[in-house]
């Protein structure tokens, strides 16, 4: 089916048909959809098909990140952007606080709807990230602890998932996976390695250093050297492609919602040093994000 035939088949008026046609042209140009041969028997019978990117938004796709996209587009998270000018003139920590009268974390703790869709968003992202780590970086977790999906892939690892008590309440572990309720600013259980997936960009440099110091305390208790494995963005202005634009947009998002930030390598190195770590290694394997191994 051609684009024209697709639009003509829709039960909508001419003006809306033109709108659909223009939308499809944008999606084609951005490689969200591609042209493909519909029938092997007729090479000229062309239609439209999903790309690897658009498949991630299919409802039945095992690694669907639809919950993540819906969370980013929810009015609770988009409305703070309309209060930037007001925020510049007040003492609130974020535009989110200016709009909603409380911090993101306070709001999430009191509003089940935000808490639920945010948890679903992070869960969908975790599945995608874990699939890449299992495929390309499973060596990072050899002889160490890991997270939920990785625990299934490497059954000889003993894994603990730490989160706020209300988040892990009622969750049942498995033979090699357990859940612990707590506050990462107060205490982290001893481990050979600690995985922080998209955690530190939520926090200021000062708070990130506090978290990393707790990580250093936890891995030092095992007497195996240990390491911290961080999944986060490394902003790279030298790339000059769409990746840097998206990274900078996420940096603005962290500013608007949680008073956090995305960091370049120099900024990451500084907080590692200030937290007492002596070395790190970057693995570029997750597109916009990277894996950083940090050593005490």
Same domain, 64 and 31: no
In a domain, 210, yes or no: yes
Within its chain, how far is the Cα of 11 from the centroid? 37
User: Which residues make beta-bridge pairs with 178?
Assistant: 160
Same domain, 147 and 210: yes
Q: How many structural domains does the chain have?
A: 3
What pTM, to 2 d.p., does this model score? 0.76
| pLDDT tens digit sequence for 234-274 | 988 776 566 788 888 999 999 999 999 999 999 999 999 99
In a domain, 127, yes or no: no
In a domain, 226, yes or no: yes
Residue 20: which domain range?
Answer: 3-53
The packing angle between helices 265-274 and 205-220, to 10°, is 60
Same domain, 100 and 79: yes
- Which sequence positions are flagged as catalytic? 201
Same domain, 155 and 275: yes
- The residue out of 21, 38, 53 marking a domain boundary is 53
How far apart CA 294 and CA 227 sit, in angstroms, is: 6
In a domain, 129, yes or no: no
In a domain, 132, yes or no: no
Same domain, 46 and 61: no
Q: Residue 94's closest CA among 185, 247, 86?
A: 86
Same domain, 35 and 151: no
Same domain, 286 and 196: yes
| pLDDT tens digit sequence for 80-139 | 999 999 999 999 999 999 999 999 998 988 888 888 888 888 888 888 777 777 766 666
| pLDDT tens digit sequence for 139-198 | 655 544 445 555 566 566 677 888 888 777 777 777 777 888 888 898 888 888 888 988
């Amino acid at each position: 089916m051609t684009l024209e035939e697709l639009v003509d088949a829709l039960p909508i008026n001419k003006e809306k048909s033109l709108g659909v046609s223009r939308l499809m042209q944008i999606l084609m140009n951005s490689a969200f959809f591609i042209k493909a041969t519909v029938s092997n028997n007729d090479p000229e019978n062309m239609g439209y098909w999903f790309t690897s990117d658009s498949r991630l938004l299919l409802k039945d796709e095992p690694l669907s990140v639809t919950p993540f996209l819906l969370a980013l587009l929810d009015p609770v998270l988009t409305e703070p952007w309309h209060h930037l000018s007001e925020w510049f003139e007040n003492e609130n920590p974020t535009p989110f606080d200016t709009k909603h009268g409380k911090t993101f974390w306070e709001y999430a703790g009191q509003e089940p709807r935000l808490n639920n869709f945010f948890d679903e968003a992070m869960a969908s992202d975790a599945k995608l990230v874990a699939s890449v780590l299992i495929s390309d970086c499973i060596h990072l977790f050899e002889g160490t602890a890991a997270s939920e999906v990785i625990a299934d892939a490497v059954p000889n690892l003993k894994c603990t998932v730490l989160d706020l008590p209300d988040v892990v309440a009622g969750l049942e572990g498995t033979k090699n996976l357990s859940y612990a309720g707590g506050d990462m600013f107060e205490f982290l259980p001893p481990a050979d390695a600690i995985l922080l997936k998209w955690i530190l960009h939520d926090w200021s440099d000062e708070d990130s250093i506090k978290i990393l110091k707790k990580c250093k305390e936890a891995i030092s208790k095992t007497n195996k050297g240990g390491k911290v494995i961080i999944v986060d963005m490394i902003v790279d202005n030298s790339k000059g492609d769409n990746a840097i634009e998206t990274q900078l947009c996420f940096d603005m998002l962290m500013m608007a919602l949680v008073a956090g930030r995305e960091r370049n390598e120099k900024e990451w190195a500084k907080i590692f040093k200030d937290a007492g770590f002596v070395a790190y290694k970057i693995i570029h394997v997750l597109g916009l994000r990277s894996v950083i191994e940090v050593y005490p």
